[in-house]
């Protein structure tokens, strides 16, 4: 694969994008109307401004600067770097996002995010403990990789193309398509195995017990909450997937128990997200970082 990213399918609960139509037997989304809704939704939540505070910088080779400029990138003379201007969609510049390298292997990113906080009893020692999670706002980007039929061989390989479903690239070596797209739902990230440094530092300021650990249940390691009293890993399934779990609210009252701290900075992850039909964006408790 061109970036060495392994396929990571998202777990979804009955997700259906707005303004969905069918073209040639496949579901299509009206990109213009979808993007306008995402932009309006992600700029504020409960009155809190979520616009980017830090610039989203790009790694544009000198020979491609005119291409980036024509796509809308702006030049920062102080940093001597190109960046995505406020209000523009970073997907347009996916080929120049410096964090998306073969070594990093990320499949999720967002220009801003939340650190969520909730309280539950430890399954082992029964002490009340604080649990933390990354919540990605509507409009976050995710990578989907899927095999295709032979008719895709007519596509130019390893070139990103802007389509109605996102930015797509055909990888001839594996006969698969790589698609970066937007998700119009607030979603917690789970089973995370890689986190960008700044985001990891921020969540560990809340809890030094948010650590990379081994789960005997799934026989694999990922970043998870650990009980500060008995050091036991608090599994992601019961936190994110069990209805009524710490970050799986199924009522407005449960959602109000979850505190969201907005972070005006980008985040890159390798993991999955939980997308639910329950929408309690106006019920979560918003707090400053």
Q: Per-residue confidence at 19, pLDDT binned at 50, 70, 90? A: very low
For 164, the domain range is 144-180
Predicted pLDDT of residue 288: 63
Q: Same domain, yes or no, for 133 and 150?
A: no
Task: Map tokens 């050091």 to a residue.
Answer: 231
Q: Same domain, yes or no, for 106 and 168?
A: no
| Residue 202 covered by a domain | yes
CA atoms within 13 A on the CB side of 125: 12
Pairing of strands 11-12, 267-275: parallel
DSSP state of 114: E
Query: Residue 268, class by beta-carbon neighbours within 10 Å (0-12 exposed, 13-18 middle, 19+ buried)?
Result: buried
| Residue 48 covered by a domain | no
| Residue 26 covered by a domain | no
Q: Same domain, yes or no, for 167 and 218?
A: no
Q: Same domain, yes or no, for 193 and 267?
A: yes
Please determine, for residue 39, whether its predicted confidence score (pLDDT) is greater than 80: no
Q: Are 160 and 60 in contact (CB under 8 A)?
A: no
The least confident of 81-95, 143-157, 197-211, 244-258 is: 143-157
Q: Same domain, yes or no, for 171 and 241?
A: no
Convert 183-196 to b/e letters by CB count within 10 Å (16 or more is b): bbbbbbbbbbebbb
Q: Same domain, yes or no, for 103 and 189?
A: yes
Q: Same domain, yes or no, for 172 and 249?
A: no
| Residue 163 covered by a domain | yes
Q: Same domain, yes or no, for 205 and 264?
A: yes
The better pLDDT of the pair 229, 283 is held by 229
Q: Same domain, yes or no, for 72 and 105?
A: no
Q: Can you give the pTM of this predicted structure?
A: 0.80
Domain count for the chain: 3
DSSP state of 7: P
Q: Per-residue confidence at 228, pLDDT binned at 50, 70, 90? A: very high
| Residue 278 covered by a domain | yes
Tokens encoding 278: 């329950």
Q: Same domain, yes or no, for 122 and 251?
A: yes
Predicted pLDDT of residue 12: 32
Q: Per-residue confidence at 115, pLDDT binned at 50, 70, 90? A: very high
Q: Same domain, yes or no, for 273 and 211?
A: yes
Q: Same domain, yes or no, for 267 and 223?
A: yes
């Amino acid at each position: 694969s061109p970036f060495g990213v392994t396929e990571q399918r998202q777990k979804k609960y009955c997700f259906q994008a707005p303004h969905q139509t069918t073209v040639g037997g496949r579901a299509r989304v009206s990109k213009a109307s979808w993007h306008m809704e995402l932009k309006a939704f992600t700029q504020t939540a409960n009155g809190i401004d979520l616009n980017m505070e830090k610039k989203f910088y790009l790694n544009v080779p000198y020979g491609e600067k005119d291409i980036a400029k024509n796509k809308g990138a702006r030049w920062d003379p102080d940093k001597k770097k190109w960046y995505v201007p406020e209000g523009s969609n970073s997907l347009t510049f996916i080929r120049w996002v410096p964090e998306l390298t073969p070594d990093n292997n990320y499949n999720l990113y967002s220009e801003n995010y939340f650190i969520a906080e909730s309280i539950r009893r430890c399954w082992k020692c029964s002490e009340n403990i604080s649990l933390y999670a990354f919540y990605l706002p509507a409009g976050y980007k995710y990578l989907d990789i899927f095999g295709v039929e032979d008719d895709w061989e007519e596509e130019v390989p390893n070139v990103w193309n802007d389509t109605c479903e996102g930015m797509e690239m055909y990888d001839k070596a594996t006969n698969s398509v790589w698609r970066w797209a937007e998700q119009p739902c607030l979603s917690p990230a789970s089973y995370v195995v890689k986190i960008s440094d700044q985001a990891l530092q921020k969540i560990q300021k809340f809890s030094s017990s948010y650590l990379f650990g081994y789960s005997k249940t799934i026989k694999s390691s990922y970043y998870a909450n650990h009980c500060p009293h008995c050091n036991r890993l608090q599994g992601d399934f019961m936190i994110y997937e069990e209805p009524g779990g710490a970050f799986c609210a199924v009522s407005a009252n449960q959602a109000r128990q979850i505190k969201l701290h907005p972070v005006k900075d980008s985040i890159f992850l390798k993991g999955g997200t939980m997308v639910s039909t329950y929408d309690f964006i106006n019920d979560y408790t918003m707090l400053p970082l």
